[in-house]
Amino acid sequence: IPAEESEEEPAAAEERPDTRLGQQDTAGGSHEGSQEGAAAEETDRDGHREAQEAEQPDRTLATSNKPRKKKKKRKTKKNSAGEAVEDKELEDIESLLERIEEPGLAPQSPGGLTPDSRPLLYVEHRNLNPENELKRYFGARAVLGDQRPRQRQRQYVRSMWLTAPKNTWPRYSKTGITMQLLDTRRGVQHFTFEHHREYQQVQFKFLDAVESMDPNNIVLLLQMNPYHVDSLLQLSDVCRMQEDQEMARDLIERALYSLECAFHPVFSLTSGTCRLDYRRPENRAFFLALFKHLMFLEKRGCPRTALEFCKLILSLDPENDPLCVLLLIDFLSLRAREYTFLTRLFQEWESHRNLSQLPNFAFSVPLAYFFLSQQEERPELERSQARERAARLIQLALVMFPSVLMPLLDHCSVQPDARVASHPFFGLNAQISQSPALNQLTSLYVGRTHSLWKDPAVMAWLEPHTHEVLRMVEAQDTLVQEAEHKRKIRYQSAPRNIYRHIILSEMKEATAALPLEVTSQPVMGFDPLPPLDSIVSYTRPERTSHPSNESTLSLFFRSLLPNFNLQGDIRHDGDDEAGAAQDLNQGVNRLMAAMRDMLANIQFQEPPRDDNPEGDGDWD
C-alpha cells in the first residue's frame, strides 16, 4: 500500500543515522555484535509494521493527508458540501452561546445554582456593566450599533469597572483625591479617601457656592475643576430637578470615574472584604455616587446591574449600612429575578440581623419563594418546599404587618372582598395605631414594590392566605397577640440611616411620613443627614466677613445688590466716636447712591395708546 511505503521510508531514514552511530560505537567489537545489531534493526522494523497495521484510524488519516493533488481537486467541488458543514458549525456555536447566556436571562435555572459556594456579597465585574445586561435583552447590534465606529477614533483612556469614560468628558487629570489603607483586621481591609491641600481649597469654594444658592456658581467651579466630586453630585440633583435626566446621569458617572481613578492598588470591588467608614466625610461621596448611579440604572431598565451595585454598597459597610440599602436590595432582587440570592440572604442574615422585622423582607421573601415554586424547570420536590415556605412566611408577614395589605391592594387597583374590607384587623385602625417609624417603612415598601404584586397569579395566591390570617385572628391565636406586642415595643423611632435612605429614594409616600426634626433642617444632595459622630480630618476656615453684625436694611439691599457693602472695604475697629460718625456718614452716602442706581434702572412699560396704528388690540 502506498501509505505504508510512504510511512516506512521516513522511518527507515530516521533509523539509518542511528545504525551508523551504533556501528561507530561498536567498531572495535566483534562481528557477532554487528549481527546482533542487524537483528535488532529487523525486529524494530517488524514491530513498527505491526504497530502501523494495528492503528487503522491513523493509517486512514495518513492516506487522506498524503495526496495533495487530490486535495486541490476537492476544493473546487466543496461548494455545497462545505457550506453545509460551515452552517452546521455555526449552528453549534450559536447553540453554545445560547447555553452560556441562559443563566443571565433566567438566573434561576439549575445551572445558576452553582455559585452558592461564593460569598454572599460577591460582586462580578461583568455584572457592573449595564451594556452587558442590555445586550442580553436586545442584542449587541441594538446596543453597540452606533458606538463601534466611534471607538476606533477614541482617545486613550483608562478602562474602568464602574463606568465607561466618554469622549464628551473633559480630559482627566489628578484631582487631589487619594485612597489609603488604614489597617487590616481579621482578613478585612479598611480604606479611606484623602483630600490633598489643593482639593481642600476647591472643597471650600464649593461650600461657598452652595451657600450662595446659585447653581451657576457650581457650574463655574466645575469649569475650572471638572472632576470635583461633590460639585458633580450637587449639580446632578439640580439637573434632575430640571428634568434633565441624561445630564444628571452623566455627572454621576463622571464622579464615579474620578473616584475610581483614585483607588488604592489593593482595593477590590469584588472580594467583599474592603471597608469604607461613612463617618469620614471623604468617603461619603463614594457611597452616594454608587447609590444614585444604581437608582438611574433601575429606572433605565437594568435591575441586574443595579443589584450588583447594591451588593457593592452593602459590602463596603455591612454592619452599619449607612444608606440602609437593605430596604432596597429585596426589590432589586425580585426585579432581576434573582430569587435564590434573596432567599439565601434571608437565611444567612436572619439569625443576627432580624431581617423578618423589616416589612420589605417580611413580604418580599415569601414572594420570592412563590416565584421559585412557579418555575417548571425545577424538581417537583423543590417546588413543593418553596410553596410551603411561601405560605408560612406570607401568613407571618400579614400577622406582623397588617397595615401593608390595604394600601398594597389600593396601589394595585384591586378591590378586596367584603370580609377583608370590613374586618378591623386590616382596616384603617391598623394604619392609625402603628408608630410613625413603622409607617415610614410600610409606606416605603408599598410605594416601591407594588408593581410586583399586580400579577393576577400573585393576587390569587395571596387571597387564601389572607383569609387564613383572619381565621387566626378570630380564633385569638397567640401568634397574633405576640405580633401586636412586638409592634408596640419596637419601631419607636427610626435610626438615622433609614431617614437618609428615604430622602435619597424620594418616595413621596415615605417622605411625607418623615418627622419634623428631619424635614426642618436643610438637606444637601452631596451630604444628606451627616452622621452625628463624624470623623473630621480637616475643617473649613472661618470666613472674614461677619454678616451677622449687619443691619436688616443692609441685608435687604445686599439681596438686591450683591456688591453693596454698608461698612465699605475698610473696617475700623477703634472706639473713636468721630471715626464711628464718619463711618456712618459714608454708609448713608453709599446707601443713597445705591438707591439712586436702583431707581434709575427701573423701567416701566407704557400701555399702548388708542391712536397707535400698530397696536395689537385693546389693552386691559
Give residue 523's pLDDT.
86
Residue that terminates a domain, selected from 503, 537, 571:
537
Helices (H) and strands (E) in the chain, counts: 29, 3
Identify whether residues 276 and 334 lie together within a single domain.
Answer: no
Identify whether residues 192 and 286 lie together within a single domain.
Answer: yes
* Residue at 407 is within a domain: yes
Residue that terminates a domain, selected from 279, 302, 321:
321
* Residue at 159 is within a domain: no
Domain CATH code at residue 270: 1.25.40.10
Give residue 95's pLDDT.
57
Q: What is the DSSP letter of 541?
A: P
Nearest partner of 375 among 330, 337, 333, 331, judged by Cα: 337
* Residue at 59 is within a domain: no
Domain holding 236, by residue range, is 124-139+176-321
Identify whether residues 427 and 465 lie together within a single domain.
Answer: yes
87: cell is 452552517
Give residue 447's pLDDT.
94
Identify whether residues 272 and 131 lie together within a single domain.
Answer: yes
Identify whether residues 316 and 395 lie together within a single domain.
Answer: no
* Residue at 344 is within a domain: yes
Identify whether residues 405 and 293 lie together within a single domain.
Answer: no
C-alpha separations of 515 from 349, 423, 439, 440, 510 in Å: 29, 30, 11, 10, 11
Number of domains within the chain = 2
Q: Dihedral through CA 359, CA 344, CA 353, CA 123, nearest 10?
A: -110
Identify whether residues 299 and 353 lie together within a single domain.
Answer: no
Residue that terminates a domain, selected from 321, 345, 380:
321
Nearest partner of 274 among 54, 297, 361, 283, judged by Cα: 283
* Residue at 573 is within a domain: no
* Residue at 32 is within a domain: no
10-41 b/e (C-beta count within 10 Å ≥ 16 → b):
eeeeeeeeeeeebeeeeeeeeeeeeeebeeeb
Identify whether residues 290 and 314 lie together within a single domain.
Answer: yes
Give residue 62's pLDDT.
43
* Residue at 470 is within a domain: yes
This prediction has a pTM of: 0.70
Identify whether residues 361 and 474 lie together within a single domain.
Answer: yes
- pLDDT one-digit tens code per residue, 381-401: 999 999 999 999 999 999 999
* Residue at 146 is within a domain: no
310-322 b/e (C-beta count within 10 Å ≥ 16 → b):
bbbbbbbbbeebb
Identify whether residues 376 and 358 lie together within a single domain.
Answer: yes
Identify whether residues 398 and 438 lie together within a single domain.
Answer: yes
Nearest partner of 180 among 267, 281, 280, 287, judged by Cα: 267
Taken in order 196, 197, 201, 207, the sign of the CA dihedral is positive
Segments of the chain with pLDDT less than 50 = 1-44, 47-86, 97-98, 100-115, 149-156, 546-547, 568-575, 613, 615, 617-620
Give residue 147's pLDDT.
57
- The three-state DSSP-derived secondary structure of 315-351 is HHCCCCCCCCCHHHHHHHHHHCCCHHHHHHHHHHHHH
Identify whether residues 317 and 375 lie together within a single domain.
Answer: no
